[in-house]
Chain A
C-alpha cells in the first residue's frame, strides 16, 4: 500500500513539473511579441536592423516615445478618442439600462415578441446595415463629425448591452421595488435610486466592454472621419505607419502608447470584477 502511495506521489510530482514546463513554455511564446514590441520601441533605428537582434537595447532610447507623441498630433487624437469613448459609455449605460429596466420589470403587451426581436438583431452581420447607415448619416450632414460614432449608442446601446443588464436586473429582488412603491416612489425613481446603484458591478463591466470596443474601433472612424484634426488614435496610428514606414522603433513606441490604456483598464478591471462578485455574494 505504501509502495503504491509512493509511486502515485512521484507520478503526481512528475505530472506537476510537466504542467509547469508547458505553462512556462507557452507563456514565453505568448509573451515574445510583447517583449519584441517593447525591445524594438527603445532601439535606435540602426539597432533595429542588427542581426541577431539584441533583446535589451543598448543604448536605451526613451526619446522614441517623445518623438512618437510629438510627431503626430497625438494629444489631439487622444482627446478625440476620449470624447468619443466617454460619450459612448454614457450613452450605452443610460439607454441600455433604461431599456433593460423596462424589459426586466414592466409588464406590457408584446413584451415577449419584442425581446425576441432584440435577441434576433444580434445575429445580423454588421456589414448588412453598414452602407445604408453610412448613407443616412451622409444625408444628415454628419460625415466628418463624431456624431455617427456616438449618437447610435443613445438608442439602447447594443442588443448585447440590453440583454446583459436585463439578466442582471432580474437577479435583484422584486421586494425592493415593492417596498419602494409603498414608500411612494415612481417607477423612474426605483430605476434611478434602487436598480442602478445595486447594479454597479454589471454597469462597470459593461462600461469596460464599451471602452474596449470604442477605443479599438477602426472601421467606424475610417468611414466617418476625414479631417486630420478629428482622427482617433487608431486612425492616426495607421496614418503614422504610412508616414514612418520602416521606422519600426517609432511605430512600436506608438503602438505601446495606444495599447497602454487597455492594459491599465484590464488590470484595474480584474479587481473590479472580483469586487463585484464579492459584494453581490455578501448581499445575496
Chain B
C-alpha cells in the first residue's frame, strides 16, 4: 500500500493535529500506567530510594491490613445501598418530569439544581444538615415521630447518611433517563391503551423494557462511580470516622499515598480497585443480556 503525495500530506497533517493527544497519552496516561505497575511492586516513600519487594504490597493489603478490608466493606456497603436507590429515584423523578403539565421546565430546573453544587459546598452544607442537635434533618424527621439520630457520629448511620446526600444529587442521572423516556415512541403507549393496559402495566411492559439500555448505562456508571466515590465528602465531613466507618476506598488510598507516603502500597490499592471494577462491570454486562431489550435486535439469541 503506497500513499500518493497528497495522501501523504493529509496523513502528515492528521498526525500533526492529533500530536498533542499522542504526547499527552504517553506522558499522562501510558507512562503513568506502566510506572504505577512498577511502583506497586516497590517500597517507596519518595525520600529514600525504592526497593523491589515483589508482591509484598498486594499480600499486605489482602492479607493483614484490617483498614483495607474495612474500606472495601464500607465502599461495598455504600455501593449496594446507593446504586439501587439512585436508580429508583432517578427513574421515578424522570417519569414525573416527563409529564405533560404546565410549569414542568421550572420543576426540571429545580430537581436538577443540587447536581451542580460543588462537592466541597455539598459536604459543608450536609455536615450542617446532619448536625445531631440543630440539623434540619433531625428536626424534619421529628415531625414524623422519629427520634433524632447522630448521623455522622453513629458508625451504623454514617454510610446511610452519605447515601441520602447522594440521592439529593440524582439530577444528572435523571436527565439521562428523561432523554431516554422522550425517545420512546408514543404509538407503543397508544397500542397498550387499546389493549386496556393500566398505567402500571404500561410502565412495566413499555417504559421499563424500552428504557433498559439506558438503565444498563446508568447502572454501570453508577457502580463505577460509587466504587470511586466519597473522597471529597468523607475527607471534609468525617475524615473516615467514626472508627473508620466512612473510610471509603479512595480515601484510604489517598491517606496511604499523601499522608504516610506509602507510594507502592497506594499504587497496589489502585490496581486492586481497577480489577474489582473491571470484574463487576464484566459480570453486569454478561447478566444484562437477560434483561436489556435492544429494539431491532429481537428477543432471544
Contact = CB atoms under 8 A, between A and B. Distances in A.
A177 B118 CA distance: 41
Interface stretch (A56-64, A70-78, A82-90, A125-133): A125-133
Contact of B24 (A127, A155, A254): A155
Interface stretch (B7-15, B65-73, B289-297): B7-15
A14 B47 CA distance: 71
A19 B103 CA distance: 12
A20 B101 contact: yes
Interface string B224-250: 100010011001100000000000001
Contacts of A53: 134, 136, 139
Contacts of B257: 130-131, 134
Contact of A30 (B18, B46, B111, B116): B111
A197 to B, nearest CB: 18
Interface stretch (A198-206, A234-242, A275-283): A234-242
Contact of B20 (A20, A27, A155): A155
A208 B114 CA distance: 17
A162 B121 contact: no
Nearest to A106: B14
A135 B114 CA distance: 35
Nearest to B1: A109
A5 B109 CA distance: 35
Contacts of B29: 121, 124, 129
B125 A99 contact: no
Nearest to B250: A127
A172 interface: no
A117 interface: yes
Given A129-B28, A155-B20, A33 B114 contact: yes
Contacts of B10: 106-108, 187
Contacts of B113: 30-31, 34, 263, 266
B36 interface: yes
A99 B20 contact: yes
* Interface size class, chain B: 35 or more
Interface stretch (B153-161, B183-191, B203-211, B271-279): B271-279
B107 interface: yes
Nearest to A270: B109
A99 B18 CA distance: 4
A19 B96 contact: yes
A179 interface: no
Interface in B109-162: 109-111, 113-114, 116-121, 124-126, 128-129, 131, 134, 136, 139-140
A85 B14 CA distance: 29
Nearest to B126: A33
A156 B29 CA distance: 12
A281 to B, nearest CB: 16
Interface string A236-272: 0110010000001001101100110011001000100
A127 B273 contact: yes
B21 A95 contact: yes
Contacts of B109: 270
Most buried by B among A99, A103, A131, A135: A131
Contacts of B134: 48-49, 51, 53
A219 B136 CA distance: 29
Contacts of B129: 33, 36
Given A19-B96, A37-B125, A216-B118, A129 B11 contact: no
Given A102-B14, A128-B274, A162 B21 contact: yes
A135 B263 contact: yes
Nearest to A52: B139
Nearest to A232: B120
A23 interface: yes
A216 B14 contact: no
Contacts of B101: 16, 19-20, 23
A22 interface: yes
B23 interface: yes
A262 B116 contact: yes
B117 A259 contact: yes
A99 B21 contact: yes
B267 interface: yes
10 contacts: A19-B96, A23-B101, A36-B128, A102-B13, A114-B22, A127-B228, A155-B23, A156-B21, A162-B21, A259-B121
